[in-house]
Amino acid sequence: MITAAVLATLALVCAVGAWRFTRARWTYRAPHVAIVLWQALGVTWGLAGTGALLSYALEPYGQGVLHGLGSFAVSAMNGGYGPADSFTLPRILALIAGLTALTILVVVLFSAGAQTLRARRRHRTLLALVAREDPEVPGVRVVDHPGPAAYCVPGLRSEVVVSEGTLKLLSPAELTAVLAHESAHVRERHDLVLLPFAALRRALPWSQVVGRVQSEVSLLVEMAADDVARRYCSPRRLATALLRFGTAGAAPTPQGALGVSETTGAVMARVERLVSPGPDLPRRVRYAIVAFSVTLTASAPLLWLMPH
């Protein structure tokens, strides 16, 4: 019972913590660290939430969640390894809820991964047919379209793509800045950071918290890439590139896409910290947050293993 209660508390703390954390602004001063904390919160919330239900449901086995699940599977298959006490109705309901939630989380993650891979493969195939190489920007694929676009197709062999419109819109220094930003996405595999949060959002489209969390993580990922890029280019050029991009876009916002007002805030926040960066978060604080994140991430799996 204690393990179940601890797991439930942990899940609740993660959910409340995530809600409050979406309003935190110190994260802009250390996006990399904040991303680590977000990932820890996400993993722990998932494992603690499902673990609490399963821990309560499987208590009759007295073996903890993971081994309890094993015993339950064995007894379900050949009926010979049932618990000492029989299941009560609340435990049966908790078992169904826990297993359903766990299955949904796993299926959603895998299907989002598969769908993302399919979308990328299609995108790559089309790029191979219609994108060209440009001697002015070696190693970058250029798509002949007047609209501004610069992005990266992540994968084992990531590709950075810009549109003809981008080449016209930006000065050479700004283009360098944009490419440095995109290479940072490629090197740090930011797509893998975003994948679970995007998947969760698709699974729970009505949840405001999940929506806010996903926007926040995407913004932090962009800021992290900005931070890497500014080592290789002028931050001011990156800022003007961002503004030029944003104001030139004027693309209509279709249903389901981020509203322009929401993206305006994000772009302006990035510009602001590029032009007048605040002080770095003290090293001590950053290490403390990373240590906390590691502890948090380890806590739920350990509780899954704890008997009782």
Structural tokens at position 207: 């949840």
Place of tokens 């609209």: 147
| 223 in contact with another protein (CB under 8 A) | no
Q: At what angle do helices 64-78 and 283-305 cross, to 10 degrees?
A: 30
| 209 in contact with another protein (CB under 8 A) | no
| 221 in contact with another protein (CB under 8 A) | yes
| 228 in contact with another protein (CB under 8 A) | no
Contact segment (CB under 8 A) with another protein among 27-35, 51-59, 148-156, 296-304 equals 148-156
Q: Going by C-beta distance under 8 Å and a sequence separation of 6 or more, which residues neighbour residue 87?
A: 57, 60, 95
Q: Which C-beta is closer to another protein: that of 46 or that of 235?
A: 235
Smallest distance from the beta carbon of 199 to another protein, in angstroms?
A: 8
Amino acid in the structure at residue 240: T
Structural tokens at position 304: 């899954």
Name the β-bridge partners of 66: none
| 8 in contact with another protein (CB under 8 A) | no
Q: Which C-beta is closer to another protein: that of 68 or that of 154?
A: 154
Q: Which of residues 102-141 bind another protein (CB under 8 A)?
A: 112, 115-116, 119-120, 123, 125-131
Helix (H/G/I), strand (E/B), else coil: 95: helix
| 67 in contact with another protein (CB under 8 A) | no
Smallest distance from the beta carbon of 209 to another protein, in angstroms?
A: 16
Q: At what angle do helices 208-229 and 31-57 cross, to 10 degrees?
A: 150
| 142 DSSP assignment | E
Distance (Å, rounded) from C-alpha 72 to C-alpha 82?
7
| 149 in contact with another protein (CB under 8 A) | yes
Q: Which C-beta is closer to another protein: that of 71 or that of 116?
A: 116
Helix (H/G/I), strand (E/B), else coil: 140: strand
Which of 47, 140, 150, 289 is in the footprint of another protein by CB under 8 A?
150
| 81 in contact with another protein (CB under 8 A) | no
Distance (Å, rounded) from C-alpha 229 to C-alpha 305?
42
| 290 in contact with another protein (CB under 8 A) | no
Which of 11, 28, 45, 185 is in the footprint of another protein by CB under 8 A?
185
Q: Going by C-beta distance under 8 Å and a sequence separation of 6 or more, which residues neighbour residue 9?
A: none
Q: Which C-beta is closer to another protein: that of 252 or that of 279?
A: 252
Which of 240, 273, 289, 293 is in the footprint of another protein by CB under 8 A?
240
Q: Which C-beta is closer to another protein: that of 14 or that of 184?
A: 184
Residue 45 sits at φ, ψ, to 5 deg, of -60, -45
Q: Which C-beta is closer to another protein: that of 57 or that of 225?
A: 225
Encode burial over 171-199: b for 16+ CB neighbours within 10 A, e otherwise: eeebbbbbbbbbbbbbebebbebbbbbbb
Size of the site for another protein (CB under 8 A): 72
Q: Which of residues 251-280 bind another protein (CB under 8 A)?
A: 251-258, 260-261, 263-264, 266-268, 270-271, 275
Q: Which C-beta is closer to another protein: that of 55 or that of 240?
A: 240
| 181 in contact with another protein (CB under 8 A) | yes
User: Hey, how many other C-beta atoms are within 10 angstroms of the C-beta on 305?
Assistant: 12
Distance (Å, rounded) from C-alpha 208 to C-alpha 201?
9
| 37 in contact with another protein (CB under 8 A) | no
